[in-house]
Amino acid sequence: MTESSTSTRHEGHARHDRHAIALMGNPNTGKSSLFNALTGARQKIANFPGVTVEAKIGTTRFENSELTIIDLPGTYSLAARSPDERVATDALLGRIDGTPKPDGVVIVLDASSLDRNLYIGTQVLEFGLPAVVALTMLDVAESRGIKIDTEKLARTLGVPVVVVNAPKGVGIEELKSTLHRTLHHPGKRLELSYPDDFKRGVDTLHAELCDLGVKLGFTPTRPEALRLLVDGAGPFFDECEEVGGEEWTRKFFEIRDRAAAGRSLSMLEAQTRYGAIGHWMREVKQAEAREGRTRTDVVDGILTHKLWGSLVFIVVMGLIFQSIYSWSGPLMDAIDGGFGALGDWVGGMMGEGALKSLVVDGVIAGVGGVLIFLPQILILFLFIAILEDLGYMSRAAFLMDRLMSRFGLSGKAFIPLLSSFACNIPGIMGARVIEDRNTRLTTIFLAPFMSCSARLPVYTLFIAAFVPQMKLLGFLELQGVVLFAMYWVGVLFAIPTALVLKKGILKSKVTPFLLELPSYKMPRPRAVGRVLWERGGSFVRRAGTIILAVSVLVWAAGYFPRSAELDERYDAEIAAAEGAFSEVVVSFDPEADSESTLAQFKAIDDAHEERTSELEGEETEVETATAESDKQREAEIAELATKHPAAFTDYENWQKLEEQRSEIENRRAGEHLENSILGRMGHVIEPAVEPLGWDWRIGMAAIASFPAREVIVATLGTIFNLGGDQDEESQTLREVVQNATRPDGSKLFSLATGLSIMVFFALCAQCAATLAVMRRETNSWKWPIASFLYMTTLAYLAALVTFQVAHALGA
């Protein structure tokens, strides 16, 4: 039946011999490594609209034909309770736009648990597509005393069987040639012996579905009628109900009741399939009764042991968290520093103006803002890929399920949520290990509640500025306690959110936690590397563009409109300041005039600066080293000054002028910002943020930090005329924040304001990257928008309560 379709469908292409092949089978069967062995690097991720799972598409060649391989998500059955589970059937039948209709299918079967693997095998074979069985893990099976007669298996199933070992490259060519042959001589449809009344029910329903076909937009097949009859629910059922109306639903349940005749149809299906499988296996499989434990049993005896298992788990989780949280630091600093230097370098070659600002502050800073997340993403996925490959991920879920199920989640949600404390983005991406759609969506929604490291600068600044240094109960540092509390704010709000989500919109009647604990395998470096490459690339390509766009947009809002009058006023002020100094002082440029005597003075100061800026260690040591360096500087300057007394005076004047210039420039930047769209937005929202204890400046900084939370620190630096290069540990910014006043002269910030800002930033969704990744992982804008609105509302209300209560208490 498919022989003709292969040649007609690809008309218009020069090659007449092109085929699409679907790869199907259980999870943990070696399906992905087979796909990789077949397609090598020639693969891309297929986008399936409306679902959160993905498939990969790759190509391979055999003689002069080209095979497009579609690697469908691993699944135990074609029964579809959610849109995600429906994908396999839809893809198999070529009903997904942009994904070719398969001309044949490779059913991947794990020889070490062949019975269970054959369950979906029988389901797929009922579709009657040309099929080849790829039998994997034969070595594992043999080590357990299981012998499979592959010839008998092929005869029984009526399709060719090829033994493959993808990591070793065994059977790949044979699989291709067998596929090639099979596509031209399709096998026959598998017929299982269901009871007659059930078969009649399937036929009747199939006829009804065909009548509905016009409205559905496709002609349903008989195996789909069987699925629908048994499942009696799911996305396909909803679709039929929608186009068929009540009349159809009534008829459907009439047919179903008649076919069931009081039996459970699921039970009937399972018994028929496993009955046939059991029958075949008596011919095909020889299992030596082997006493003794397998290697996996022995390892599991430790890794899921009450004491040892829990200990290993804690160590592994600690390692993951520690690595994302702190080991990524140097890499992130390098990226940050690299893009800062790039910005300076490019900026140095461009004239002042909007274009320079766009390139440096918009584009380069934006690209840097995307790449800065890569180290954390790659480190997390390094662990996830190794643990997944090893088989430990399902054990971790086994250990944590009890705890997580209390919040309506599953054990698999633990690692994504833990990672979210370091950075929400890898956390959200890590949620893909959760098979159940609703649990996955809940986990993705909860991830931004975990206090990530980008919130830390906000906490650091305001805690240092407003929380007094004192001890609670004699040993607890109050500042530390507040910081600790900030980390719990998110968790505190995440728990009820999880419960509401799982009881409300993401309710599934039950989310069965049936989890296969696969046998342990050695992680394969190439497979791990591939995961890293895919995840990193997917983040940069798909989320990166959105993040970059948002960065540029916010840059523009903070830059425009640019008042020429304002610039003239400040230019005049600078000119006035320069008027007080001689020409030599005004025009001195340390880089251009590096040969001059003035530059020699500057070099001494630079050297001193360099010696002292990187000092670390004990406070007293730092002080001593600083004093020493200072002494050295004094001596060098004095020596040079005796030689060139006039130049020394010029140098001192130049320093004064530089100070004045930078003070004027900072004021200019501040006023530009106040004038900009962003500044005006700050004024507009001032009445709304007033009850939080904020003024327009803080409101504006909060808006400006939409691309990333930590931006608030730099924005506050600019608006308080310190320039944009402030960081959270800057002494001056801390002092300025402590001393900032409102127009009436009262203090702008207090402990209450500080707490309200921290609570707001703990709960808000101010991170374009998180929202972009959420969009990418859920394949819909619905989730990031819902997340942003929900979290912003929550953050606002919590900050409101925090400020009002703290204020009333006199903080």
Partner 1 sequence: MSSQTLDKLPVGASGTVLDVAGEPALQQRLLEMGVLPGVEIKVVRFAPLGDPMEIKVMGYSLSLRKAEAAHVTVERA
**Which residues contact partner 1 by CB under 8 A?**
76-77, 79, 81, 112-113, 115-116, 119, 144, 146, 230-233, 264, 266-267, 269-271, 274, 287, 296, 300, 304-307, 309-310, 394, 397-399, 401-403, 405, 411, 508-510, 512-518
Q: Is 149 helix (H, G, I), strand (E, B) or coil?
A: coil
Distance, in Å, from the CA atom of 71 to the CA atom of 86, rounded to the nearest integer, reads 15
Q: How far is the CB of 400 from partner 1 (least distance, A)?
A: 8
Distance, in Å, from the CA atom of 354 to the CA atom of 560, rounded to the nearest integer, reads 9
Q: Among residues 185 and 306, whose Cβ is nearest to partner 1?
A: 306
What residue ranges in 54-179 does DSSP mark as E strands?
Answer: 55-62, 65-71, 104-110, 131-136, 146-148, 161-163
Q: Among residues 310 and 662, whose Cβ is nearest to partner 1?
A: 310
Q: Among residues 18 and 81, whose Cβ is nearest to partner 1?
A: 81
Distance, in Å, from the CA atom of 678 to the CA atom of 730, rounded to the nearest integer, reads 24
Q: Among residues 405 and 780, whose Cβ is nearest to partner 1?
A: 405
Q: Among residues 513 and 581, whose Cβ is nearest to partner 1?
A: 513
Give alpha helix (H) positions in 539-676: 544-559, 564-579, 583-587, 597-613, 619-643, 645-675
Burial of 89 (0-12, 13-18, 19+ CB in 10 A): buried
Q: How far is the CB of 113 from partner 1 (least distance, A)?
A: 4
Q: Among residues 103 and 300, whose Cβ is nearest to partner 1?
A: 300
Q: How far is the CB of 540 from partner 1 (least distance, A)?
A: 36
Count of CA atoms in the C-beta half-sphere (13 A) of 744? 3
End-to-end CA distance of the chain: 79
Q: Among residues 508 and 741, whose Cβ is nearest to partner 1?
A: 508
At residue 44, φ and ψ (nearest 5 deg) are -140, 165
Q: Among residues 296 and 666, whose Cβ is nearest to partner 1?
A: 296
Pairing state between β 104-110 and 146-148: unpaired
Count of CA atoms in the C-beta half-sphere (13 A) of 735? 5
Amino acid at 256: R
Q: How far is the CB of 257 from partner 1 (least distance, A)?
A: 14
Q: How far is the CB of 301 from partner 1 (least distance, A)?
A: 9
Distances (CA, A) of 148 to 131, 138, 163, 196, 606: 19, 8, 10, 32, 76
Q: How far is the CB of 527 from partner 1 (least distance, A)?
A: 21
Q: How far is the CB of 88 from partner 1 (least distance, A)?
A: 13
Q: Among residues 275 and 330, whose Cβ is nearest to partner 1?
A: 275
Q: How far is the CB of 460 from partner 1 (least distance, A)?
A: 36
Q: Is 504 helix (H, G, I), strand (E, B) or coil?
A: coil
Q: How far is the CB of 115 from partner 1 (least distance, A)?
A: 5
Q: Is 586:650 a contact under the CB 8 Å cutoff?
A: no
Strand partners, 163: 135
Q: Is 128:189 a contact under the CB 8 Å cutoff?
A: yes
Burial of 160 (0-12, 13-18, 19+ CB in 10 A): buried
Q: How far is the CB of 398 from partner 1 (least distance, A)?
A: 5
Q: Among residues 270 and 316, whose Cβ is nearest to partner 1?
A: 270
